[in-house]
């Protein structure tokens, strides 16, 4: 049984949808929850938690406002002593084809999803390092992992969060700060109009939140990309195929002619860190790099 008693969690975008479901579940497991959102929905969710016997506080601020985020974290650390869990869930949509998308629409989505997560993570990072404990979840998306028509801005932000997670998971490991990604599919306002009602009915936010709880538990993994939707759970990976070695006489024509070999998934692997690509390529070239 995962017990979060004594833990303090900040959940952004928690006024409704996935964020609300996450907040209710973490509170039910004993966490003191900061319900972050822009409007009065944050107050309603915090009140709902308190009515159920939990501890919660609404904090209204925009995650793309770095100074406001710093003040939110400073206040919570001063009043509640710590922040153990951060769930970067806040997001917006500005969907349209790339041909019709304005640069401002692109920037808005990057600022909220990517920079919002950066602002929140930066604000809690030093405290987590000092206490040698932290659990951080970035909310990525299948749109970022695999692409989706009309969501170039959203997909770019969501894939960027995967890279952020991978690096922070490496940097935070010695301080027991575990950083993971959640790729949810849930029937929230952000999915309305994309799926028909009969399909949306399968994607309840409450069916995603168990994955979130697993990623913030004391025995959580580190650097996982956990997909969740409709009660199903999968792991996504960024893998390398074994590929081919062409040597110093390599040409683009040879690459294309042997494309089938490049795409052969047998023997593919997941690098532990970026330099593993260099090690892999040196081995194929006949060297045996250490480490």
d(CA 267, CA 31) in angstroms, rounded, equals 42
CA nearest 242: which of 288, 286, 277?
Answer: 277
Residue 228 CA, chain-centre distance (Å), reads 12
d(CA 132, CA 267) in angstroms, rounded, equals 37
d(CA 73, CA 70) in angstroms, rounded, equals 5
Q: Regarding beta strands 177-185 and 225-229, do their DSSP bridges make them parallel or antiparallel, or are they unpaired?
A: parallel
Q: Are 156 and 197 in contact (CB under 8 A)?
A: no
Angle between the N-to-C axes of helices 209-216 and 17-28, in degrees from 0 to 180, rounded to the nearest 10: 50
> Would you call 290 exposed, middle or buried from its count of C-beta atoms within 10 A (0-12, 13-18, 19+)?
exposed
d(CA 121, CA 168) in angstroms, rounded, equals 10
d(CA 128, CA 175) in angstroms, rounded, equals 8
Q: Which of 133, 146, 154, 237 is catalytic?
A: 154
The tokens 């009915």 sit on which residue?
Answer: 201
d(CA 162, CA 223) in angstroms, rounded, equals 9
237 given a catalytic annotation: no
CB atoms within 10 A of CB 12: 29
The residues carrying an active-site annotation are 154
């Amino acid at each position: 049984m995962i017990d979060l008693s004594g833990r303090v969690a900040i959940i952004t975008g928690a006024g409704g949808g996935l964020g609300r479901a996450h907040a209710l579940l973490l509170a039910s497991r004993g966490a003191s929850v900061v319900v972050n959102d822009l409007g009065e929905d944050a107050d309603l969710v915090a009140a709902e938690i308190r009515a159920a016997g939990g501890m919660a506080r609404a904090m209204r601020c925009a995650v793309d406002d770095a100074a406001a985020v710093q003040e939110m974290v400073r206040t919570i650390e001063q009043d509640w002593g710590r922040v153990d869990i951060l769930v970067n869930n806040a997001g917006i949509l500005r969907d349209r084809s790339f041909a019709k998308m304005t640069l401002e629409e692109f920037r808005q989505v990057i600022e909220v999803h990517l920079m919002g997560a950066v602002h929140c993570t930066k604000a809690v990072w030093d405290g987590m390092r000092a206490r040698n404990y932290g659990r951080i979840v970035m909310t990525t998306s299948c749109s970022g992992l695999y692409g989706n028509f009309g969501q170039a801005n959203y997909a770019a932000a969501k894939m960027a969060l995967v890279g952020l997670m991978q690096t922070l998971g490496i940097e935070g490991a010695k301080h027991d700060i575990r950083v993971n990604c959640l790729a949810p599919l849930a029937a929230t306002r952000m999915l309305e109009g994309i799926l028909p009602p009969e399909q949306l009915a399968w994607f309840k936010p409450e069916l995603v939140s168990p994955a979130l709880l697993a990623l913030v538990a004391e025995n959580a993994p580190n650097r996982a990309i956990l997909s969740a939707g409709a009660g199903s759970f999968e792991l996504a990976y960024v893998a390398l195929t074994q590929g081919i070695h062409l040597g110093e006489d390599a040409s683009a024509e040879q690459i294309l002619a042997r494309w089938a070999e490049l795409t052969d998934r047998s023997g593919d692997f997941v690098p532990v860190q970026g330099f593993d690509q260099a090690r892999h390529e040196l081995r194929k070239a006949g060297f045996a790099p250490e480490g």
